[in-house]
Amino acid sequence: MSAGSNGVATSTTFSAVQPENLDQSDRSVPRNLRQSGPTPVEMLISTRVRKSPFWHLSHAAGCWRATVYNRMYHPRGYVRPQDGGAMAEYEALVNHVTLWDVAVERQIRIKGPDAEAFVNRLITRDATLIRPMTGKYVILCNEDGGIINDPVLLRLSDDEFWFSISDSDLELWLRGVNVGLGMNVMIGEIDVAPLQIQGPKSEALMVEMFGEEISELPYYGMLEAKIADCNVVVSQTGFSGEKGYEIYLREATRDADALWNAVIMAGERHSLVVTAPAHHRRIAAGILSWGQDIDQHVSPFQCNLSYQVPREKSVDYVGRRALEAQRMELDAGRNPFRLIMAGLTFDGQPVVDYAPDFWLILPEDGGTPIGYITSAWFSPELDCNIALGWVPGDKATPGARLSIALPDEYAEAPGMPASGKVVDLPFRPSINPSARERGKAGPTDNAT
């Protein structure tokens, strides 16, 4: 391990001990900043973790590495490093069209006479304003106002909603909440698995598969369709910042092969590439990832999701009291949060793969850590490294200078922190002007 003059470890071989000089008293467990670095072990493929109905197809398409998301194996790499790695997948996304296996977005259905009323007690936004066959990006909070999930909410009909969930077990939470409410709804995961079609050529591909009606589909619009005898729900949504769609396959256990093969066949004429979800592009768009950038310890007011919290809503919801108390503090000019989510650019060698841990943020001249990076990647368009990270409120102003303690593989010299600064988000605008609806970390406080 090597260290800079401030004593902060910056080598790829980090200490496994929590850094004691960064205050994390506002968190319980998990504490971030494990600083354990890469863990070079083989991942065990066992029956304890589920496989997506597309898993075998992803493997056949070249998937060589995976992570675990929602207790399901999640493809995270197709192009090998020697062939360009994740940055080659980025080029396919921003120039052509890509196919992602995102069955890990488990679909939790709420159905029954009280479906709308129940959903309205769960999400911060007003569920009554979501029309059938449309969706919204929403957040659900715990009683302390911490974000426990930030799914896309799809409304299929007056009495049926699907939560397309991020990486936390929302079904158990929903069942627990309804023990107290006792509403007349059925709650449970359904046999629906989505694929994402993302990139500038996605509309042309989708029109070929589903017809011209796709061109009229608004952002967060939905339609029922059929392809290769498979029943699907199509939405114009995605996790990339590029133009994109999701295809939600009904009877996914039975029909996964048929849908996948139909998309692959149609995609040949559009230079379709099977890739992992584009975390490099979503960072550029300022889109947050639950479990990486935000979690149950984070308030929407800390991460520029205040637009998700209406100033007026006709019914109570979980976390409302805590969130309203936080807003009162902010309205009075008092910041109740020690750290704020911000966008940063920084020097050093290009970050062209997933960071294996959180990297410490230091004052401009070094010294005691004051925050940490949660997501980082190299931006070809900006020709620099970009990141989302937590910084003190007085350092969250665009233009504020900071430094980043990088592993030696990315540092300009061993043990030397990289120069960085806070910048406005997003780093690169999303293709769809409504893309903040999928979690963009942008400044706003006019929720409806």
Q: Which residues are annotated as a binding site for substrate?
A: 246
Binding-site annotation: residue ranges: 246
Residue 338 is given by DSSP the state S
In 317-361, which ranges are continuous DSSP H helix? 320-331
Identify the sign of the CA torsion 389, 395, 398, 400. negative
Amino acid at 207: V
Cα–Cα dist 256/70, whole Å: 19
Cα–Cα dist 352/378, whole Å: 6
Bridge-partner residues for 197, per DSSP? 99, 245
Cα–Cα dist 8/42, whole Å: 29
- Residues belonging to the chain: 448
Q: Are 136 and 220 in contact (CB under 8 A)?
A: yes
Structure tokens at 169: 């077990």
Structure tokens at 404: 């980043």
Burial of 144 per CB tally in 10 Å (0-12, 13-18, 19+): middle
The angle subtended at Cα 248 by Cα 242 and Cα 250, nearest 5°, is 170
Cα–Cα dist 289/355, whole Å: 14
In degrees rounded to 5, what are phi and psi of residue 307? -65, -15
Secondary structure of residue 269 in the 3-state scheme: helix
Amino acid at 388: L
Q: How many CB atoms lie within 10 A of CB 391?
A: 23
